[in-house]
């Protein structure tokens, strides 16, 4: 009997918290564009090294800080990104930007990134990204990237990638470093790290990749706004 | 002739300090749970009351333990559940039962985190916000919280037992 007033106070506190929570849910939120988000949605500093898929004017931009030799990046690409391309990029709803974030623990990640940058210059970023991730196991142990990738592109085209890479190696390396520096500035500490920009606002998703169904429900929510 | 007063076992002074420790423990635990809920609802400098569950669901799903429907339900409910636990602990309501539930919740979380570490999953903890990497430090911290929750629960049961003895 003694504890009744204490219990009443407790239940009143809980009721008040629930009321505050439901009021907050009911209140529509306003989302003001921020300068940080505008910066994130903007194209790369050097437009010649943009690795992107889709329409830049799409309502949603998904930036992926990735490493072509990272198994989690491969898992995210195979399980989520491919479906995002089919369901959201092709209809013009999502624009995907790849940012190079080669990790030091992966000895061939930079080499793969250089080839991807070269292929991107010929409008073949999506194709090289697919080939690198689809066949990651074939090249990631020995580093025989050119040998493996050559079989997935017409020889003349692949030679152009290689020639461009060797002629512009310093610019390509600088582009990779720019992406890395951008990631460090945004506290990227694992790959893949994903940023979503929509309605002038950029949000970081929990690192390590996201299930397609969860990402889809978030995209659908953003598109309904 | 002077007499020396021998303090009895039930003197107010000796009976008060375990209760005071219990209050400190449950308030500390309650505040930590309130912060855990706050960190899931307020991040990147603003409240996310309408979309917090998308981010938290992604963090829960990274543990690869539950089907997506269960992940989505948990993501919606858990922050509010933590808020309620924190508030009830601070208010001192049904401390034995709320302490037991809190200990259970922490035990399940630590189990999931340990499993993720054993499997080598490079994921975020999802404990205090969505972008806190799971590591040994997070495991030690959450284990300390479990010790605190167990101490509060056991303390509450012991104090209640003592009160029952006195009244009988």
The DSSP output letter for A55 is -
Is A101 within 8 Å of A65 (Cβ atoms)? yes
Inter-chain contact B68–A17, Cβ cutoff 8 Å? no
Pick from A1, A19, A10, A13: which is nearest to B97 by CA? A10
C-beta atoms surrounding B75 within 10 Å: 22
Give the pLDDT of residue B164. Answer: 78
Query: What number is the average pLDDT over the span A69-96?
Result: 97
Q: Is B11 a residue whose pLDDT tops 90?
A: no
Greatest extent of chain A over all pairs of C-alpha atoms, in Å: 88
Sheet holding A51-53, edge to edge: A51-53, A94-100, A60-66, A193-198, A201-204
Q: Which two tokens stand for residue B4?
A: 């020396």
Question: Is residue A10 in a domain?
Answer: no
- A34 pLDDT band, cuts 50/70/90, is very low
For B55-83, the pLDDT digits (tens) are 999 999 999 999 999 999 999 999 999 99
Give the pLDDT of residue A44. Answer: 42
Query: What number is the average pLDDT over the span A95-113?
Result: 97
Question: Is residue A71 in a domain?
Answer: yes
Question: Is residue A216 in a domain?
Answer: yes
Give the pLDDT of residue A4. Answer: 52
Residues 22-51, chain A: which have Cβ within 8 Å of B? 24-25, 27, 29
Query: What number is the average pLDDT over the span A114-133?
Result: 96
- Provide the CB-side half-sphere exposure for A107 (13 A, CA): 6
Q: Which long-range contacts (CB under 8 A, 24 or more apart) does B162-168 make?
A: B162/B15, B166/B10
Give the pLDDT of residue B19. Answer: 85
Query: What number is the average pLDDT over the span B88-97?
Result: 96
- Provide the CB-side half-sphere exposure for B70 (13 A, CA): 6
Total structural domains in chain A?
A: 1
DSSP H or E stretch at residue A100? strand A94-100
Give the pLDDT of residue A95. Answer: 97
B-chain residue closest to A23, CA distance: B49
Please report, for the domain that includes residue A155, its CATH number: 3.40.30.10
* SS3 state at B125: coil
Question: Is residue A25 in a domain?
Answer: no
Q: Is A93 a residue whose pLDDT tops 70?
A: yes
What is the residue range of A171's domain? 35-224
A217 contact partners, CB below 8 Å, separation of at least 6:
B54, B72
* SS3 state at B70: helix
Chain B contact present for A62, CB below 8 A: no
Please give the distance of CA B153 from its chain centroid, rounded to a whole number. 11
Q: Chains A and B: how many Cβ contacts under 8 Å? A: 91
- A15 pLDDT band, cuts 50/70/90, is very low
For B112-131, the pLDDT digits (tens) are 999 999 998 888 889 998 77
Is B75 within 8 Å of B9 (Cβ atoms)? no
C-beta atoms surrounding B126 within 10 Å: 29
A-chain residue closest to B46, CA distance: A31
Give the pLDDT of residue B124. Answer: 87
Q: Taking all residues of chain B, what is their mean pLDDT, rounded to a whole number? A: 89
Name which of A39-43, A69-73, B101-105, B107-111 the model is least confident about: A39-43
**Which of A11, A187, A206 is facing B59, going by the closest CB pair?**
A206
Give the pLDDT of residue A24. Answer: 38
Inter-chain contact B50–A17, Cβ cutoff 8 Å? no
Question: Is residue A1 in a domain?
Answer: no
Q: Is B7 a residue whose pLDDT tops 70?
A: no
- Rounded CA-CA distance B43/B128 in Å is 10
For A42-74, the pLDDT digits (tens) are 334 444 578 999 999 999 999 999 999 999 999
Is A140 within 8 Å of A69 (Cβ atoms)? yes
C-beta atoms surrounding B77 within 10 Å: 11
Question: Is residue A6 in a domain?
Answer: no
């Amino acid at each position: 009997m003694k504890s009744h007033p204490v219990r009443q106070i407790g239940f009143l506190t809980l009721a008040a918290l629930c009321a505050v929570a439901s009021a907050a849910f009911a209140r529509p939120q306003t989302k003001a564009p921020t300068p940080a988000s505008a910066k994130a949605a903007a194209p790369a500093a050097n437009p010649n090294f943009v690795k992107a898929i889709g329409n830049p004017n799409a309502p949603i931009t998904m930036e992926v800080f990735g490493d072509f030799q990272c198994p989690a990046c491969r898992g995210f690409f195979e399980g989520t990104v491919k479906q995002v391309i089919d369901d959201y990029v092709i209809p013009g709803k999502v624009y995907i930007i790849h940012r190079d974030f080669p990790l030091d623990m992966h000895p061939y990640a930079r080499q793969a990134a250089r080839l991807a940058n070269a292929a991107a210059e010929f409008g073949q970023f999506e194709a090289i990204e697919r080939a690198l991730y689809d066949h990651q196991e074939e090249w990631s142990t020995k580093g025989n990237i050119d040998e493996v990738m050559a079989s997935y592109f017409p020889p003349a085209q692949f030679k152009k990638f290689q020639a461009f890479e060797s002629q512009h190696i310093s610019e390509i390396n600088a582009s990779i470093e720019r992406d890395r520096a951008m990631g460090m500035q945004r506290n990227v500490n694992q790959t893949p790290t994903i940023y979503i920009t929509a309605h002038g606002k950029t949000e970081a998703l929990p690192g390590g990749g996201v299930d397609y169904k969860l990402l889809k429900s978030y995209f659908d929510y953003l598109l309904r706004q | 002739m002077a007499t020396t007063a021998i303090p009895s076992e039930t003197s107010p002074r000796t009976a008060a300090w375990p209760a005071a420790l219990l209050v400190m423990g449950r308030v500390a635990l309650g505040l930590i749970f309130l912060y855990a809920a706050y960190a899931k609802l307020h991040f990147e400098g603003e409240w996310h009351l309408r979309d917090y569950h998308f981010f938290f669901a992604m963090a829960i799903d990274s543990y690869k333990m539950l089907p997506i429907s269960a992940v989505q339900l948990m993501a919606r409910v858990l922050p509010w559940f933590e808020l309620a636990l924190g508030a009830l602990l601070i208010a001192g309501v049904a401390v034995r039962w709320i302490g037991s539930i809190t200990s259970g919740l922490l035990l399940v979380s630590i189990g999931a985190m340990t499993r993720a570490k054993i499997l080598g999953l490079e994921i975020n903890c999802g404990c205090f916000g969505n972008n806190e990497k799971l590591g040994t430090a997070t495991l030690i911290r959450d284990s300390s919280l479990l010790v605190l929750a167990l101490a509060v629960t056991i303390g509450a049961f012991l104090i209640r037992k003592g009160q029952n003895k006195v009244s009988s």
